[in-house]
Chains A and B, each alone.
Chain A
Amino acid sequence: MEYTWPLLMAVALLIGLFSGYPVALVLAGVGVIFTFLADVPLIFLSTGVARIFSGILSNWLLIAVPLFVFMGLMLERSGIAQRLLRSLAGILGPVPGGYAFAVAIIGIVMAASTGIIGASVVLMGVLALPVMLQNRYKPEIATGIIAATGTLGILIPPSVMLVVLGDTLRLSVGDLFAGALIPGLLLGGLYIVYLIILAIFWPQTMPPLPPSERAGFGNTLLQLCRDLLGPLALILTVLGSIIAGIATPTESAALGALGTFLLALLSRQLSWAQFVAVLNETTKTTAMIMFIMIGATVFSVIFRKLGGDGMIADALGAEEGNPYAVLGVIMLFVFILGMFLDWVEITFIVVPIVAPIIAGLDFGLPSEQVLLWFAILFAVNLQTSFLTPPFGYALFYIRGIAPPELGIDVIYRGIVPFVVIQLIALALTMAFPSLALWLPETLLGR
């Protein structure tokens, strides 16, 4: 058997992952164990150290990751989402489904403001879920819209996921951000279209809220405009400067981090203890992502040495197959992985293995563009990993804050339409590569 070792390694990885031991250490540990089992010279592990240093620790681009994480956590504590929800709900609430629109719009605005999840599922769940349930929204719709829009931050640029993908695929992060903008907004737009269809044909599933007596319509509109200033300023400085090519992702992330810190200070809601908690949380999240990268580095050095990349290429039939079939198989594989793992693990395990295969496929496009298009498809697909049962983070977060009579089966049922919408967005981007390629080409002349 040509592929005995890589096959055994993949099996060991699966067992390790499903044992529930930390993923980063399973990856690294399996790499080390197979170095000894398969008698790989130890020099391969010591080159792993050099790779960790030059590829991760001294990688200036990756500095954007802690900065974006810090920015996202600060934004969540700035109270911007709370205030936006209050003013938007004041305006849209009295229409059927209006509150759900408010939740969706906030999801999209906050996603474009920050590189990780800005108005998290937990925050929106705590704020919006009780209101929706109290007003006899269908629980499936209430939980579905919160989970689906609360996780858009990872797809809509700026995005930590795209920074990491850009690093792994050696693509310009500016191109990736520009490329993901239309598919990301398309996805958010499709959510809203779905809500509109529900509101028109099944208005009883999303009853209007009683109009609030406290403030008049004009005042609320004014309030909304004021509440939108902060996010709009962030979108312009962070996203605008990267896409326009004025600043690197790291630089604009730092400016955004400073900006959100000031916004949080201005809101007078930031206590010292909260600030320290944000710092600790930033350290943990950054280390979590980077250690999976470190573990995957060790794993893939040994996996490749043992012929694992050849095994994957053969299994995909990359040599003679139809390029769309190969792409379809990879996308299906990523979607299935997304049911069990989340974007960090999938990115670091799958991308380095499949990228050379994809770059060699003939779609009638230059290979640089193929990779960019593939990265965007990959990112849209990974967005589902938050939502697909049995293991979607967003679902567990919702479960944690929902009232106990709301069972996990309700949450699972509620997410299905949104996953279908994501698959529609994925299929559209696959069928029309220009959805991903047009904006970078037009803006950056590529």
Chain B
Amino acid sequence: MLAAESLRDAVASMTSLCKSVEAACAWFGRIAGWLTPLLVVSVCLGVLMVQLRLNALAEWTTPVPLFGTHISMNSLLDLQWHLFAVLVMLGGVYALHTDAHVRVDFIAARFTPRTRQIITLLGDLLFLLPFAVLMTWFSWTFTMSAFQVHEGSSYGGLLDRWIVKAVLPLGFALLTLLGAARAVRTAIEIARGGGDTPVSDPER
């Protein structure tokens, strides 16, 4: 009796733990939304600089990470795709959390909620997790080698390529974490036999 109750408590706290992990992962994506206005401004600024034939926006003497000692037209161009890379990788995590990734659901719409939960669990285990884990690993070595050789722009743009490359392992690690938490939560829901709560947590 007592064992059953404490088991129920453990399961309930597991579910809420999973939910907080999922929400924490998606938080990064919500932040990524604010990169869009920055992107708009930086591209427009670039257009303006070309029109005014400006090359350097700012110069200083003490080198700082990423920028070195100046912000030139080329640093601005690099900055634009840096922002885009972050937007895509963190946004992907957010899109998974809010169920914004395209699904072909004209057959799946006829499945029972329980069948759909089982598909989500199988998909997370077979498709998402192996992909996300492997990509985290490979992109980690990809980033580390950029760090070790101090890779940077060869045309006066941004330095420290590893910083933007690091968004790959970060994004894939967050996907792994989100996928694992969701898989555990879905498995619990399937085992409980409750089929009425939707698997994902759309905000809308």
**A284 contact from B84, B95, B135, Cβ within 8 A:** B95
Does A23 interact with chain B (Cβ within 8 Å)?
Answer: yes
B116, A63: Cβ atoms under 8 Å? no
B102, A345: Cβ atoms under 8 Å? yes
B81, A45: Cβ atoms under 8 Å? no
Chain B interface size, under 10 / 10 to 19 / 20 to 34 / 35 or more: 35 or more
A53, B165: Cβ atoms under 8 Å? yes
Does B104 interact with chain A (Cβ within 8 Å)?
Answer: yes
Does A442 interact with chain B (Cβ within 8 Å)?
Answer: no
Residues of A within 8 A of B94 (CB): 280, 283-284, 287
B38-52 vs A, CB cutoff 8 Å, 1 = contact: the mask equals: 011001101100000
Does B177 interact with chain A (Cβ within 8 Å)?
Answer: no
B127, A52: Cβ atoms under 8 Å? no
Tell me how far the C-beta of A436 lies from the nearest C-beta in chain B, rounded to whole angstroms. 28
A49 vs B81: C-alpha distance in the bound complex, in angstroms?
17
B5-47 vs A, CB cutoff 8 Å, 1 = contact: the mask equals: 0000000000000000000000001101110110110011011
Residues of A within 8 A of B122 (CB): 19, 21
CB-contacts of A26-45 with B (<8 A): 26, 28-33, 42, 45
B29, A283: Cβ atoms under 8 Å? yes
Q: Evaluate whether A28 and B131 lie within 8 angstroms (CB atoms) in the complex, with A53-B165, A292-B102 already known.
A: yes
B34, A344: Cβ atoms under 8 Å? no
A6 vs B47: C-alpha distance in the bound complex, in angstroms?
46
Residues of A within 8 A of B126 (CB): 29, 33
Most chain B CB inside 10 Å of its own CB: which residue of A25, A26, A50, A56 = A25
A342 vs B103: C-alpha distance in the bound complex, in angstroms?
10
A340 vs B130: C-alpha distance in the bound complex, in angstroms?
27
A291, B95: Cβ atoms under 8 Å? yes
Tell me how far the C-beta of A444 lies from the nearest C-beta in chain B, rounded to whole angstroms. 21
Tell me how far the C-beta of A114 lies from the nearest C-beta in chain B, rounded to whole angstroms. 14
A19 vs B111: C-alpha distance in the bound complex, in angstroms?
10
A258 vs B40: C-alpha distance in the bound complex, in angstroms?
7
Q: Evaluate whether A283 and B32 lie within 8 angstroms (CB atoms) in the complex, with A53-B165, A53-B168, A66-B39 already known.
A: yes
Residues of B within 8 A of A32 (CB): 127, 130-131, 134
A46, B85: Cβ atoms under 8 Å? no
B103, A21: Cβ atoms under 8 Å? yes
A20, B101: Cβ atoms under 8 Å? no
A19 vs B80: C-alpha distance in the bound complex, in angstroms?
37
Most chain A CB inside 10 Å of its own CB: which residue of B46, B81, B102, B116 = B102
Chain A residue nearest in CB terms to B45: A254
Does A274 interact with chain B (Cβ within 8 Å)?
Answer: no
Residues of A within 8 A of B100 (CB): 284-285, 287-288
A283 vs B90: C-alpha distance in the bound complex, in angstroms?
9
B95, A283: Cβ atoms under 8 Å? yes
Residues of B within 8 A of A31 (CB): 131
Tell me how far the C-beta of A170 lies from the nearest C-beta in chain B, rounded to whole angstroms. 18
CB-contacts of B80-96 with A (<8 A): 80-81, 84-85, 87-92, 94-96
Q: State the B residues within 8 Å of A (CB).
A: 29-30, 32-34, 36-37, 39-40, 43-44, 46-47, 77, 80-81, 84-85, 87-92, 94-96, 98, 100-109, 111, 116, 119-120, 122-123, 126-128, 130-131, 134-135, 138-139, 141-142, 164-165, 167-168
Q: State the A residues within 8 Å of B (CB).
A: 16-26, 28-33, 42, 45-46, 48-50, 52-53, 56-60, 62-63, 66-67, 70, 247, 250-251, 253-255, 257-258, 261, 276, 279-280, 282-288, 290-292, 294, 298, 340-342, 344-345, 390-391
Closest 5 CB pairs of A and B: A29-B127, A20-B108, A287-B91, A254-B43, A21-B123
